[in-house]
Amino acid sequence: MTTYTDLNPSTRILLGPGPSMADPRVLRAMSAPLIGHLDPQFIKIMDEVQEMLRTVFQTENELTIPVSGTGSAAMEAALCNFIEEGDKVLVAVNGYFGERLIDMAQRYGAKVDRIDRPWGEVFDSAEIETALKKEKYKLLALVHAETSTGARQPEIQAITKAAHENGALVVLDTVTSLGGLPLEIDAWDVDIAYSGTQKALSCPPGLGPLTIGPRGREALKNRKSQVANWYLDLTLVEKYWGDNRTYHHTAPISMNYALREALRLVVEEGLENRFARHQKHAELLWQGLEDLGLPLLVEKDYRLPTLSTPQLPSGLDDASVRKRLLSEFNIEVAGGFGPLAGKVWRIGLMGYSSRKENVTLLLATLKEIL
Ligand SMILES: Cc1ncc(COP(=O)(O)O)c(C=O)c1O
């Protein structure tokens, strides 16, 4: 008979594009006893999770929930609830996750147009505005923090203004920005935003924070057809997270404990302090990488503090360096993919991973290997 050993994964220093290292307090919270998903104590936990998610998203949106599933589930919810067969959708693509938005939107029957920028670059709000004028779009979807390139899309407020003037809702991917860099859902007038727990919130992967503003809720109310995905149908899900508390699916209890603790950590630190910490450690990393002869792909003003993409010198054996980092030093960083395969690394400094000692260790290790 086969015997299996005790589970014993190494303690890795997770400096890739996610998951980031979970704060030990978050892991402890996950081991609390299970309670039922309609237990009054769990209902209170749900209320607190929603309240703190609103704080972190900087929104008053009532419909702010953690979707059961990873960031892609929240991404799917952000699209399937607002798309009906034949709706026109515009997607701004400057990396891999823009492509995924297109793939998902098409599966729900949208007619998708795209506007493109090379990987590593960002859009000018004026070019998006011009594209929005070409058709009557129901939805504009774009990525705030492109994890495949390390680029931060600026001018979100100008983009949402242009979208609204042209009658389109805005869906914003904030998977690699929430809790790590400035993101203001209400001040920027974003209609629908989604994220993941495993990046700057420093929680394991498993929930997808999602927030829906007034225009989004109105659009949901005015749908002519049923939402094509039962599990992610917000007209059903909101009855569990809203006042009714009607059973829809069994909430992942331990993941909600984890998210509650992760959000409590963000609130304790304060958003401004947290953003400043991410920025400070990213700048330390950028300087060190440049000193090692690894210049950054993205122009400084548009770099993500959460995800950096140093360019690799030609001839460097990308995979073997990363393999040594992992096997000899327990450090995980990721390679580039798509057009950036073999050309960049993707180094994440998110949440609990964004610490000075991690930057110092990574730079020292890279110096030794290179
Ligand atoms: C920008 C972006 N969007 C969406 C996703 C999908 O999230 P998940 O992998 O948690 O499903 C990711 C994951 O890395 C991401 O970086």
Same domain, 88 and 228: yes
Quick check: is 6 in a domain?
no
Closest residue (by CA) to atom 2 of ligand 1?
175
Same domain, 165 and 243: yes
Q: 18: Cβ below 6 Å to ligand 1?
A: yes
pLDDT of 1 reads 87
Domain count, the chain: 2
Distance 72 CA to ligand 1 centre (A): 6
Quick check: is 59 in a domain?
yes
| 8-state DSSP, 137 | -
Same domain, 258 and 285: no
Same domain, 218 and 317: no
Cβ atoms within 10 Å of 51's Cβ, excluding its own: 12
Quick check: is 213 in a domain?
yes
Distance 147 CA to ligand 1 centre (A): 8
Same domain, 154 and 41: yes
Question: In this model, does residue 252 exceed pLDDT 90?
Answer: yes
Largest CA distance in the chain: 67
Same domain, 220 and 83: yes
Residue that finishes a domain, picked among 267, 290, 305:
267
Quick check: is 4 in a domain?
no
- CATH number of the domain where residue 72 is located: 3.40.640.10
Atom of ligand 1 nearest to the CA of 143: 1
Q: 143: Cβ below 6 Å to ligand 1?
A: yes
Q: 61: Cβ below 6 Å to ligand 1?
A: no
Tell me the mean pLDDT in the region 244-265: 96
- CATH number of the domain where residue 277 is located: 3.90.1150.10
| 8-state DSSP, 120 | T
Residue that finishes a domain, picked among 246, 267, 288:
267
Atom of ligand 1 nearest to the CA of 147: 16
Q: Torsion angle, CA of 207/208/213/218, rounded to 10 degrees?
A: -90
Tell me the mean pLDDT in the region 163-190: 98
Domain that holds residue 351: 13-18+271-369
Which among 97, 101, 149, 153 is the best mutation to test ligand 1's pocket, defined by most ligand atoms within 8 Å of the CB?
Answer: 97
- SS3 assignment, position 10: coil
pLDDT of 267 reads 98
Q: 205: Cβ below 6 Å to ligand 1?
A: yes
pLDDT of 365 reads 97
- Predicted confidence band at 317 (pLDDT cuts at 50, 70, 90)? very high
Paired strand residues for 173: 143, 194
Distance 198 CA to ligand 1 centre (A): 9
Closest of 80, 338, 11 to residue 223, by C-alpha = 80
Tell me the mean pLDDT in the region 344-370: 97
